[in-house]
């Protein structure tokens, strides 16, 4: 394998830290040419020194180190375009990651995508952009990475179902009636994965799985009715596919993001991993059905795919605004799904025409959800 040139975005966040772990052990395979962080300047500089990186961007505040030669969200786009690289790994959290994904594809770089919002917000537009520029979107999300590896072996018409696994989040053992009064800290304690606050809350509500259903629909060109969710509490089974003969194929390993990240970067090759391998004796792979009453937000995600157009965008934007309000202690945990549903009941465009149109509709959606929040404030 030729040494691939990389840009790592969101290098100090949860995906970024796992990426760095991979890169430290794979210096013969990867050459980091550009790096960004939002606010963690000290770690950004440390990483730049470790890997001898010349293009460094801080997006969230004024940099105090002179080595940082790009700043702000505009600077980030410039850095992506100016830096010679084969792959941009996008580990930015939330809708803020979309502009970087566009810049990566527009400048002819493959996109290793941990930022699921890119696909959920921009669906067909982002896929068309990748195609037009002859670039690849390489899934990093563990479920999609699993499916991506599993479908390699089959013609598309042989695959009848994609089955996404979910841990069940922080509240999988709680009763529905006790969810109303859960605290922000309780929602932030994920049972198996250590991740940033937004995605951890999204795991507790199951909005994360909703986003992943939408992501799988676009990435693998599968209709919503062929995308299923099943709970695997220990997170050993990272997803499954079913073929038309009824067989199930699954990808099973310890929960460790470094492997899907490495697979995205090494694609189409597979490299040895440094992380521990799962030993099967004593392991039970129990599955449970998704409780739709407990996780009502999942229904909204399927509704988004039924309506298409701006509805996946509405699902994402309403959820981001609602989660921020919950973290702020302005609404109850159970209000998150209610707000998403109410926002999606509004009329939204049936087609998104351009990336500019996406940003315009995105702010309209956020204003609607914020208006609802003003009326639901619990204190």
- Which stretches of the chain bind Mg ion, using CB under 5 A? 141-143
Smallest separation (angstroms) from Mg ion to the CB of 219: 12
Between CA 271 and CA 68 the distance in angstroms is 32
Please name which of 304, 152, 288, 293 lies closest in space to residue 217, comparing C-alpha atoms. 304
Residues 6+ positions from 73 with CB-CB distance below 8 Å: 59, 96, 99
Judged by beta carbon, residue 141 or residue 320, the one nearer Mg ion is 141
Smallest separation (angstroms) from Mg ion to the CB of 51: 27
Judged by beta carbon, residue 59 or residue 142, the one nearer Mg ion is 142
Smallest separation (angstroms) from Mg ion to the CB of 296: 20
Smallest separation (angstroms) from Mg ion to the CB of 259: 13
Smallest separation (angstroms) from Mg ion to the CB of 239: 9
Q: Contact 241/249 with Cβ under 8 angstroms?
A: yes
H or E element in which residue 55 lies: strand 55-58
Which token pair is 251? Answer: 């990808």
Please list, residue by residue across 13-31, b when 16 or more beta carbons sit within 10 angstroms of its beta carbon and e when fewer do: bbbbbbbbbbbeebeebbb
Between CA 57 and CA 39 the distance in angstroms is 10
Judged by beta carbon, residue 142 or residue 200, the one nearer Mg ion is 142
Judged by beta carbon, residue 143 or residue 320, the one nearer Mg ion is 143
Judged by beta carbon, residue 14 or residue 266, the one nearer Mg ion is 14
Between CA 62 and CA 208 the distance in angstroms is 32
């Amino acid at each position: 394998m030729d040494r691939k040139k990389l840009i790592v975005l969101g290098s100090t966040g949860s995906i970024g830290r796992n990426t760095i772990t991979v890169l430290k052990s794979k210096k013969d395979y990867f050459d980091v040419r550009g790096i960004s962080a939002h606010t963690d300047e000290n770690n950004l500089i440390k990483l730049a020194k470790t890997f001898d990186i010349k293009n460094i961007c801080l997006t969230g505040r004024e940099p105090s180190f002179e080595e940082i030669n790009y700043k702000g969200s505009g600077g980030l786009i410039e850095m992506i375009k100016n830096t010679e690289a084969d792959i941009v790994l996008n580990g930015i959290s939330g809708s803020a990651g979309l502009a970087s994904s566009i810049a990566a594809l527009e400048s002819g770089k493959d996109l290793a995508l941990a930022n699921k919002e890119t696909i959920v917000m921009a669906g067909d537009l982002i896929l068309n952009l990748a195609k037009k520029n002859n670039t690849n979107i390489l899934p990093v999300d563990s479920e999609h990475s699993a499916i991506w590896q599993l479908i390699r072996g089959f013609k598309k018409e042989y695959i009848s179902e994609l089955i996404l696994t979910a841990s069940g989040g922080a509240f999988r053992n709680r009763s529905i009636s006790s969810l109303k009064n859960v605290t922000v800290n309780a929602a932030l304690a994920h049972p198996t994965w250590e991740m940033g606050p937004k995605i951890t809350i999204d795991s507790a509500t199951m909005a994360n799985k909703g986003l992943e259903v939408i992501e799988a629909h676009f990435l693998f060109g599968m209709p919503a009715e062929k995308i299923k969710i099943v709970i695997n509490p220990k997170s050993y089974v990272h997803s499954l596919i079913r073929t038309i003969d009824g067989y199930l194929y699954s990808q099973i390993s310890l929960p460790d993001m470094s492997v899907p990240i490495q697979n995205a970067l090494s694609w189409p090759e597979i490299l040895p991993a440094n992380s521990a391998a799962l030993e099967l004796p004593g392991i039970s792979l129990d599955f449970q059905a998704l409780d739709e009453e407990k996780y009502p937000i999942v229904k909204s995600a399927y509704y988004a795919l039924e309506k298409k157009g701006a509805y996946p965008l509405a699902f994402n934007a309403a959820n981001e605004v609602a989660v921020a309000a919950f973290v702020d202690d302005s609404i109850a945990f159970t209000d998150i799904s209610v707000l998403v549903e109410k926002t999606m009941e509004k009329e939204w465009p049936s087609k998104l025409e351009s990336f500019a149109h996406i940003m315009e509709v995105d702010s309209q959606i956020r204003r609607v959800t914020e208006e609802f929040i003003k009326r639901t404030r619990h204190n």
